[in-house]
Structure 1
Amino acid sequence: MRTRIAIKFHALLERHFPERRVFLRSDTDTRFIRLRPESQLLAFAGATAIVSWAIIATAILLMDSIGSGNFREQAKRDQRTYEARLNALSSERDKRAEEALAAQERFNSALAQISVMQSELLASEIRRTELETGIDVIQSTLRRTMKEREAARQEAMQLAEAMSDETVNETKDGALDDDGSGALNFLTAALEETAQERDKIIADAQDALIEADRMAEEIALMKDKNDQIFRQLEEAMTISVEPLDKMFRAAGMDTDNLLAQVRRGYSGQGGPLTPLTFSTRGEELSPDTLRANRLLKHMDDLNLYRIAAQKAPFAIPVKDAFRFTSGFGMRWGRMHKGTDFAASHGTPIYATADGVVTHATWQSGYGLMVKIQHEFGIETRYAHNSKIYVKKGQRVSRGDKIAAMGNTGRSTGTHLHYEIRVGGKAVNPMIYIKAARDVF
């Protein structure tokens, strides 16, 4: 059976690979090499395998080269995109910084304008009070003058009647004695003096009426000016206070408790923000006085908000170019309690609010870390630093340089791990950063 199969296989090979002989001739001898079908098959298979391997290897190398080129091009495109995004973020950051500076300048300008308007309002109110008092004096003087004029008129009439009676008697007697002539001269002089005094009183009364009308017109103009000043102040308060109130509420802070806490820390009284009062007799305050006191309260709230904004972390700890690499929340099955800012090694890190440094050394996985305790139970943490520029117990202000970015502790690269804790509980720092975006 095996012999038969072998014979058939050999016949098949003979058909495709017939036996060949290769003659090798020399000068003295002739030899030949017989190439059997099996040998030809092996040589053909070997040659085919070598050619196939060469084709496959060449294809692999070509595909690898093409793929590497694509990868390099893709990497370059990604790098260009990343650089463009970094430039855009840097431009956006610079723009936000300029807007914050402009907003701060507008805020300071509004405060200066409010102070000037407040001084004008107080001076105007005092002047109006003085004018009202002057009008009351003029009116009382006018009434007294009218009474005196009436009395002088009656006295003149009596003197005229007496002189008339005396003239009749003199006519009947035919002559005047010395006493009668003296009395007549006295009466004539008194009558002339009374007439002059009457004319003077009438002229003074007319002048007083004209002055009263002028003062009344001046008071009306002053009231209109005061109303305009009030409206401008109220608009300025609305523009200044509402964004700050919105910022604190967006950060989840109770503004009433916030203002009360700041007010307790700054409880001194007196000066331009003391409530107005123009009466010491316990009388009810006028509508303008109540309106001015409401404005003064808004100004006081504005100052309190300004103080609170400096003491709460409404700022970004990195001012140079950076990128966010990890946000607040779950990461790799664990809670990430802060926000990561990546930048070059040694990038300055700044305090985001006024406060006192409570920690400025190494702490396990945080590496070199700075902790700052702020008002309202807020604490900020700055971790993985390469250097620390503050010490425990030191008081810092917003914008003070406190550390340099590094890669210490449990970290995979140079970055800042920034945390905000309220009452010991970690909160998302972006809440505060986004809340202040439209104000600073």
Structure 2
Amino acid sequence: MKIAMVGTGYVGLVSGACFADFGHQVVCVDKDAGKIEALKRGKIPIYETDLDKLVETNAAAGRLTFTTELAGAVADADAVFIAVGTPSRRGDGHADLSYVYAAAKEIGAALKKFTVVVTKSTVPVGTGDEVERLIRETNPDADFAVASNPEFLREGAAIQDFRHPDRIVVGTEDDRAKRVMGEVYRPLYLNQAPILYTARRTAELIKYAANAFLATKITFINEIADLSERVGANVQEVARGIGLDNRIGTKFLHAGAGYGGSCFPKDTRALFKTALDHDVQLKIVEATLTANDNRKRAMARKVANVLGGELRGKTIGVLGLTFKPDTDDMREAPSIPLINGLIDFGAKVRAYDPIGMEQARKELPEIEYCKDAYECARQADALVIVTEWRQFRALDLKRIKQEMKHPVVVDLRNIYRPDEMAAHGFTYDSIGRPR
């Protein structure tokens, strides 16, 4: 199959490289000439495990190419995927669909034969209808079908998720489009990945509902963690106890500093706004949004409380800046409100992240960046673990203690055992566990 992937951001680049690895001919299109030239040289604009090798291998084999010229790529394609950004619109929380609609118009003008135009971007219900209308308006004679094919990729494990998906959702009722999409995903047949064909609007809602549910699950266990601290329970054991129930499951029950990233915050907001537009109240989603925002802001107060309520003049070391490990993504990372709160309380902040410091400097230019965890701990009054990078799971605790001014650790990811930290002489606080 010949595939055009419009957009070389996280979703577009990972999807394009994986489709090429299946054996399809893939052209990735982007308006950013600098990005395209960098990709041709093998420079990857995002950090994702093994993505550089996948791009290099398939580009060398001639299955994956990059261009700024959309018309040629679309004219020759069997399927054109729209994988551009849909960030939260400033001021109202709705998804900004301007990039999607601009791409639809350009695609419409370039269509030459029957083509399936696929929205891969996360979009509100009804977006496919508007994409179809814009293409028809741009090119009344075009022979095409519009389908929805939402992505379900976890940052840090995106290639594995693409190759071994829980499900593939395809929203279309057009038989020709179903056949094309079946061929696109045919290489996954041996992996027994189920393809769920639905109406287009249903597929669009599946993506938002999935992310909102997972965000709610995270927020729920975070609130149970707060209660656990007050009553002397252990939230990790609570999570295991409820997660062993197959109706609940163990995933997304890890208490922490709140969810962030490119998907959950904007998608839950967009779903809530869509519901308001249709006069439907999503009270659980609304509460999830509020609780998560409040939680991220409260983490600085948690650090202050461990140090007796006063941070002015104190030095705080922060380990981990990205919203999760194995990515350089800083979008809505809990570290941002945490660090801003610490600074507002008068603290000096120094930080270290294995991958994300270049991106973090754009969000947090006023803090000091360190070369490793031990430099970050040097003369610190407290060390805060924000992101559970593997490098932080086996720190030399004796050396960390020697480096610090005061041996205080606030572990917002529960990666250490309280008894172990106490044995090393630390004042240790974590999430949802007795001190």
How high is the TM-score relative to the length of structure 2? 0.21
**TM-score when scaled to structure 1?**
0.21
